[in-house]
Structure 1
Amino acid sequence: MSSWGVLAFLWLACFCRGTLSCPALCTCYHRRGEVICNEVPLTEYPTVGLPKNTTLLTIQFTNITTISEEHLSATPLLQGLHLYSNRLQTLSPHLLRGVPHLNTLDLTGNKLGDLPADVFSHAPLHSLVLKNNLMDKADAEWLPGNSSLTWLDLSGNLLTKIPTALLQKLPLLENIDLSNNRLEKIPANSLELMTKVERLSLQGNKLDTLDASVFQSTRNLTYLFLSRNKLNKLPQNLFQQLTQLSHLGLDDNQLSHIPPGLLDQLSSLDDDGLDLTGNPWLCDGKVEYLWRWLQKNKKKAFLSENITCAGPQALAGRSVLSLTESELNL
């Protein structure tokens, strides 16, 4: 073999070895640019051996505790990064500066608390999932003012206040999940720039009431989940602007009555689209509006027969639908 032939062979061997590299304990699918490190004893981010053409990286159920800008710079073409259920405690500032194509970042099930400013800047994120971590605040400085984020999941954290400043920087949001936190109040202006939001989850918090104007700007809402709170009273015009709403969860609250007219604007509810179960309904004269609404809209109420009276004692356990006019003293 000529010297040129030898050189060509060596170059090709090195090239192939480089493009087909893969970190130890991980699986690489080179053709589709995907790397998966699943349930392996990794303690450090697997930078060595990561193919530079990686576009999708999943690292889950490992012992990795930190991740830095330098780590991610090893895969400059990355578009999706999924880091489920590791032991991440810290993220470096400017974390995404080396991945200018990243649009999806999922950090579910880690141990993240305080995060540095600009941690999620420098990449065109569309989806950011921070579910089931240890965050007691969500800082507006995490993201740039021109963020393209459409999906934000902060569920399962320790938030006591709705992150108004952060949300007001994200006018393109379509999905916001703040469920299973410790929210006690939603300021009236918190959602005023959320004109594109279609899905809002606030279930599993400590809300006992809502401002009458809180949903005034969210006219594109189709799914609204308020289940498992402490709501005991709702303003009459609370849902007046939500003419696109198809699903509304009000189950497992402390509602004994709802004001006349509350549900009248919700003409777009799907069948089984309204859940009112698990509330202590007081079946006196004030339940007339709910009773009449259920008579006309039985199909729209999820498990309508399970919407039952908590009192008075003579009617306890009865389905609201089954009551008669005489029993309600109408």
Structure 2
Amino acid sequence: MYILLVVFIAIARISSENCDEISQLNLIVYKTIDSAAENITTSAIIKLNDDAFHLLLANQSIPRLCVNVVQIMNELSVLQIINSSVADIDPGAFHIIPTLTLLKINFNLLTTIKSGVFNNVKAKEIDLSRNFISVIEDEAFDNNTSLQVLKLNHNAIKEINPNWFKNSHNVYKLSVIYNELTRIPAYAFKNLATNRALKLRLSANRIREIDPESFAGCGDIDILRLNGNKLVSLPREIFINRTIRLLEVNTNRLLCFPDVLYESKLQRLEFLENSQFNCTCLGQVRTFVIKSKVDIMYPAIICEDKVREVNWVYNFNKTYEIPLLVTSTTERF
């Protein structure tokens, strides 16, 4: 939770060559967490006169953020640029001295994240969701030791690049949901934090393949969400020499889990809507869940046990057995 909201006065100026000058910007600013929003009309550089908490720039027309367009020397916690037609950001556009809690640039027209834009921005969380990003240069998030959380949701990203995040060793949460990923490559997360468990959200893509070495180089995983993809199997290697606390693989095409999962320290497992899941595997999952006291969400599947002459019903977090329905071979008139 943000503790206080403070107003600042901003002046806007475009200072790099070949940048069209913006004559007027309408800003929304706050003094404290309980204060009403204040509207300020400015031009020239966005600049603080006093310590501040939150600046919102919304529903403007700023196709390009040029060099030094944002200069924050005083305290600021949150900076948001929302629905303002931003299609390009020059390296050096942000000159921000304090450490931001959040830098959010959502509902804009960005397609490319260039090196030099965010490397020197001290922000614990950068949220670039709901743009049109398809290209992220290799060095775009390098050498940023302040960065902990990166959100890239609702874009057009086609790959996780193992070369991202060099020397940005505090990034522990990466969210790339609703994009166009088709596979997770080897060493995909090797540069993420090793001093705390990772939170990885990769749901709602088109992922068909996870390389066996995809998690090589990274440590424990607190949350791994792979819902809404096209996975048929999971590589056994992702469960070896690491703990995954919560695994969600709902709405995929899984047939079974690797045996090493049943030796893991998993605490919660969800695999709803995997309708072709193997019945033998389901029995193994049930045994593991009971033995290890795992929170579970099963797909809705009925499996026949001919030996015991029962049907096992798996549904959400429940399993139960019902007698087999035996069909009579004697025709009745």
CA distance in structure 2 between the partners assigned to 1:182 and 1:287 by the alignment? 30
* Cα distance change of structure 1 residues 289 and 209 upon mapping to structure 2, 3 Å threshold: farther
1:134-186, CA deviations, whole angstroms, 9 ceiling, x for partnerless residues? 11121133244354311111121111111221134422111111221111112
Which structure has more strand as a fraction of its residues?
A: 2
The amino acid across from 1:236 in the alignment is R
Task: Please show how residues 263-274 of structure 1 align to structure 2 within 5 Å.
Answer: 263-267=262-266, 269=267, 273-274=268-269
**Pairwise CA RMSD:** 3.7
Confirm or deny: 8 A CA contact 2:125 2:149 kept in the other structure: yes
Q: CA offset at residue 296 of structure 1? A: 4.0
Match of 2:301 in 1: 309
Change in CA separation of 1:122 and 1:287 when aligned onto 2, cut-off 3 Å: closer
Code of the residue aligned with 1:94 in structure 2: it is: G
After superposition, residues 103-122 of structure 1 pair within 5 angstroms as 103=100, 104-122=102-120
Instruction: Assess, with a 3 A threshold, how the Cα gap between structure 1 residues 37 and 252 changes in structure 2: closer, same or farther.
Output: farther
Q: TM-score, normalised by structure 1?
A: 0.74
Counterpart in the other structure of 1:181: 179
Gaps of at least 5 residues in structure 1 are 1-18
Deviation readout 1:201-229 (Å, 9 max, x if unpaired): 11111112322332343323211111111
Give the structure-2-normalised TM-score.
0.74
Residue 224 of structure 1 pairs with residue 221 of structure 2: no
Cα deviation, residue 299, structure 1: 5.6
Q: How does 1:86-97 map to 2 (within 5 A)?
A: 86-96=84-94
Q: Structure 2 matches for 1:188-199, cutoff 5 A?
A: 188-194=186-192, 195-196=194-195, 197-199=197-199
Equivalent residue of 1:199, what SS? strand
Give, in angstroms, the shift of residue 286 of structure 1.
4.5
Q: 1:94-142, CA deviations, whole angstroms, 9 ceiling, x for partnerless residues?
A: 112x322243311122111123331113332322111111111211332
In structure 2, the partner of 1:250 is: 249
Equivalent in the alignment of 1:124: 122
- Please give the alpha-carbon distance, in whole angstroms, between the structure 2 residues aligned to 1:216 and 1:20: 45
* Farther off after superposition, 48-57 or 170-179: 48-57
Question: By percentage of residues, which structure has more helix?
Answer: 1
Contact 1:228-1:252 within 8 A present in 2 as well: yes
What is the number of equivalent residue pairs in this alignment?
A: 293
> Map of 1:128-143 to 2, 5 A cutoff?
128-143=126-141
Q: Report % sequence identity.
A: 17
Q: Deviations for 1:67-88, whole angstroms, at most 9, x for unmatched residues?
A: 2334313x43253311123321
Amino acid of the residue matched to residue 272 of structure 2? T
Give, as a single letter, the amino acid of the residue that structure 2 aligns with 1:58: L
Gaps of 5+ in 2: 1-6, 12-24, 326-333
Which whole-Å CA distance do the structure 1 matches of 2:124 and 2:273 have between them?
A: 36
Identify the match of residue 152 of structure 1 among 136, 143, 150.
150
- Taking the aligned partners of 2:238 and 2:137, their CA distance within structure 1 comes to 28
Aligned partner of 1:210 in structure 2 is: 210
Aligned to 1:16: none
Q: 2:238 & 2:154 partners in 1: Cα distance?
A: 26
Cα distance, 1:322 vs structure 2: 3.0
| Letter paired with 1:309 | I
Alignment of 1:101 with 2:98, yes or no, is yes
Contact (CA 8 Å) 2:93, 2:117: kept in 1 or not? yes
- Match for 1:230: what amino acid? K
Looking at structure 2, the residues matched to 37 and 279 of structure 1 have their Cα atoms a distance apart, in angstroms, of: 50
Match of 2:50 among 46, 49, 53: 53
Deviations 1:220-269 (A, max 9, x none): 321111111111011234223332x33211111101222333243124x1
Measured in 1, the distance between the counterparts of 2:110 and 2:286 equals 47
